[in-house]
Amino acid sequence: MFNFDEIVDRTKTPCEKWNKYKGQDVIPAWVADMDFKSPPCVIEALQKRVQEGVFGYTDIDDETYDAMIAFVKRHYNWEIKKEWILFTHGVVSSMNIACMAVETASVMTTTPIYPHFIKAPKHANKEVLAIAMKEENKRWVLDFEAMEKAINPTCKLFMLCNPYNPAGTVFTCKELESLGDFCLKHDLTICSDEIHADLLLNPETKHIPIASLSEALAQKSITLMAPSKTFNIAGLQASFAVIPNAELRKNFKRTMGSMVGGINILGITALKAAYLEGDAWLSELRVYLAANLKMVQDFVSKNPKLKLLGQEATFLAWIDASSLHVKSPYEFFVQHGVGLSDGEPFGNKNFVRLNFGTQKSVLEEILKRMQKAMDSL
């Protein structure tokens, strides 16, 4: 058993999440990292590597590749090859590289969405075709009718987020097949951010990499993965792209050029340990997060002015606060001591995103303060 209830005082280090409201009586529940210690196997591997005392240029050994390949096969039933893998410093940088590597004048994605899905195409001077997700059977789903109306011949890249950030949808096989058909029909390369793939909160839910559905889709896909969200090692900056198509992989690597340098020694050390020995920790984490989500859902159900659709993955709850009729739901909750993510950069200022990847006692205090805010209306 792992102790996810253990409080870690993150204010003692320059922590982005907790420094944002330094000196204020505000509990941060915004940026997507968790407050839990990483798995013991990761911490031990890092300590052993640090003990060597030399941190020069490094290579990635075959055991690391084997661990990655086995993890992807074990969790997603997808067989990837060593030569398909390119290491990057993070999924955000990978999205920017993809937008530059694929020849396209415009990029299609969905909204609301993690803000870098909008920023990355703009950084590459590409038009953004942002298609609103729709509510269906209490889930956020793709609107294929709207996508068909918006697509144009200049668009050759679709940027997918699965599991979906901020809404927590895990797209079904049928939904992914329909998206795959759409992309093949319009000759779109798919850049799929699957960084939350391991954080499934329903035991019956399965994550399916869209590239695993067919050889045709594999040849049109850039799949972005990382252990960073799963094992809470985002600061170590170790992520990777899986690109089966040799020409697409060549273009991605050429675009990386000298902008993305050597790999992070400690990041690769943590990645290897997590993928080799982290499954038991991950299984318990999922149970803990699912219980935290239930607390959030119970809170929302008691407050009819808030709304939360069904959620299948991630530690981030996308809460509709439009019925509060306040100028800024984000500012409203900050005034009552809770720092959520503002929904505006995601595409809707009337929403807030709550990070429940924290200790139960901390989440209880967050929800207590939010309830006090609701009672003030």
Average pLDDT over residues 100-118: 97
Contact 212, 77 (CB under 8 A): yes
Q: Please determine, looking at this structure, whether the domain spanning 45-277 carries the CATH number 3.40.640.10.
A: yes
Of the options 3.90.1150.10, 3.30.870.10, 2.170.270.10, 3.20.20.80, the CATH number for the domain spanning 10-39+279-375: 3.90.1150.10
Averaged pLDDT of the chain: 97
The separation between CA 147 and the C-alpha centre of its own chain, rounded to angstroms, equals 23
Confidence of residue 186 (pLDDT cuts 50, 70, 90): very high
What mean pLDDT do residues 29-37 have?
97
What angle do the packed helices 265-277 and 62-76 form, to 10 degrees? 50
Strands 221-225 and 189-193: parallel
pLDDT at 112 over 90: yes
* Helix (H) or strand (E) run with residue 274 in it: helix 265-277
The C-alpha angle with vertex 211 and arms to 60 and 95, in degrees rounded to 5, equals 65
Residue 263 binned pLDDT confidence (cut-offs 50, 70, 90): confident
Q: Is the pLDDT of residue 109 over 80?
A: yes
Bridge partner list, 111:
132
Question: Mean pLDDT over residues 144-150, rounded?
Answer: 98
Report helix, strand or coil for 339: strand
pLDDT band (50, 70, 90) for residue 261 = confident
Q: Is the pLDDT of residue 305 over 90?
A: yes
Is pLDDT of 258 > 80? no
Distance CA 246, CA 185 (A): 21
Whole-number pLDDT of residue 1: 87
pTM beyond cutoff 0.85: yes
Interval 216-222 mean pLDDT: 98
- Please compute the mean of the pLDDT values over residues 15-38 and round it to a whole number: 97
Give the distance from CA 246 to its chain's centroid. Answer: 26
Q: What pLDDT, on a 0 to 100 scale, did the predictor assign at position 132?
A: 98
Range 254-260, long-range pairs (CB < 8 A, 24+ positions): 254/101, 255/97, 255/100, 255/101, 256/86, 256/88, 256/97, 259/97, 260/88, 260/89, 260/93, 260/97
**Would you kindly state where each structural domain of the chain is located, as residue ranges?**
10-39+279-375, 45-277
